[in-house]
């Protein structure tokens, strides 16, 4: 059965896109099939409500080109977040780029209009269509940060065949936020009998705790609050075993 070597890069991004582009070659490790960087790695959000439109790019712009180059150099699929130019020049998309052995884009569906933030004032929501990509024989569903709080999106991805859910994030720090993050990641894994890999930006502004969770909700690897790297393996034989033991997807009565 298929296995996938996964690395989760818990690194903070700068508000200068040139700095972040230059760091891609430094922070993307060798020896993995799939490397996941956080949401907004191409350019940090900046202060709450900041206008990021001036730093939005096309998916084949400078950040996308460098991401693809580094992915090819590492012989891996690399995922990272950026702000993408769209129909509204003042409100770009919050986009995940997938480059390397697999190629895809996902525009964040659920914008962070919560906990005192209004992401929709500065960004446009993507089309509410689940996005999947195949990486090394594993079907991967794409989600971004606040999407994690919407279980129906994770279920739609799994119903379309996802065996691993990716959640790049910039999960803002605050009271209960780490507890919510850890609980929701494990819940999405348990209720869908699916692997979940989440790469977050670190403290102090964000919550860190990037982690890989298996289909029974066991945390296989987890970072702390600070910058770091998390490694783990997605094993489709383990996934099949869990789904035989806990066939909750097959037992649904809709």
30 is catalytic: no
Catalytic entry in 66, 84, 105, 108:
108
175 is catalytic: no
What's the mean pLDDT in 183-205? 98
User: What pLDDT was estimated at residue 193?
Assistant: 98
> Residue 92 corresponds to which tokens in the numbers above?
């770009």
**Distance from CA of residue 88 to its chain's centroid?**
24
d(CA 164, CA 154): 10
145 is catalytic: yes
Structural domains in the chain, sorted by start: 3-245 (3.60.110.10)
Q: What is the mean pLDDT of the chain?
A: 97
**Residue 1: band (very low, low, confident or very high) from pLDDT cuts 50, 70, 90:** low
For residue 171, pLDDT over 70 is answered with yes
**Residue 179: band (very low, low, confident or very high) from pLDDT cuts 50, 70, 90:** very high
**Residue 102: band (very low, low, confident or very high) from pLDDT cuts 50, 70, 90:** very high
User: What pLDDT was estimated at residue 54?
Assistant: 97
Catalytic entry in 84, 145, 163, 222:
145
Half-sphere exposure of 145 (CA within 13 A, CB side): 30
For residue 119, pLDDT over 80 is answered with yes
Residues in the chain: 254
pLDDT-above-90 percentage for the chain: 99
**Residue 254: band (very low, low, confident or very high) from pLDDT cuts 50, 70, 90:** confident
User: What pLDDT was estimated at residue 173?
Assistant: 97
User: What pLDDT was estimated at residue 112?
Assistant: 97
What's the mean pLDDT in 183-208? 98
Catalytic entry in 11, 39, 66, 163:
39
User: What pLDDT was estimated at residue 122?
Assistant: 98
pLDDT-above-70 percentage for the chain: 100
């Amino acid at each position: 059965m298929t296995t996938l070597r996964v690395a989760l890069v818990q690194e903070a991004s700068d508000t200068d896109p040139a700095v972040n582009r230059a760091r891609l070659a430094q922070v993307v490790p060798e020896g993995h099939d799939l490397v996941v960087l956080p949401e907004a790695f191409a350019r940090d959000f900046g202060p709450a409500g900041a206008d990021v439109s001036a730093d939005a790019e096309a998916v084949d712009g400078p950040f996308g080109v460098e991401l693809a180059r580094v992915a090819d150099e590492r012989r891996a699929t690399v995922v990272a977040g950026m702000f993408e130019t769209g129909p509204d020049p003042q409100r770009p998309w919050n986009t995940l780029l997938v480059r390397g052995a697999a190629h895809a884009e996902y525009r964040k569906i659920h914008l962070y209009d919560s906990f005192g933030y209004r992401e929709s004032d500065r960004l446009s929501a993507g089309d509410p269509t689940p996005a999947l990509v195949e990486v090394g024989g594993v079907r991967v569903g794409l989600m971004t940060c606040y999407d994690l709080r919407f279980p129906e999106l994770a279920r739609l991805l799994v119903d379309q065949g996802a065996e691993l859910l990716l959640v790049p994030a910039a999960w803002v720090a605050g009271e209960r936020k780490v507890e919510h993050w850890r609980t929701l990641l494990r819940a999405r894994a348990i209720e869908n009998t699916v692997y979940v890999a989440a790469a977050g930006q670190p403290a102090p502004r964000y919550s860190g705790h990037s982690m890989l969770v298996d289909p029974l909700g066991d945390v296989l690897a987890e970072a702390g609050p600070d910058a770091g790297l998390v490694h783990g393996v997605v094993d489709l034989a383990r996934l099949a075993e869990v789904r035989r033991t806990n066939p909750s997807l097959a037992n649904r009565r809709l």
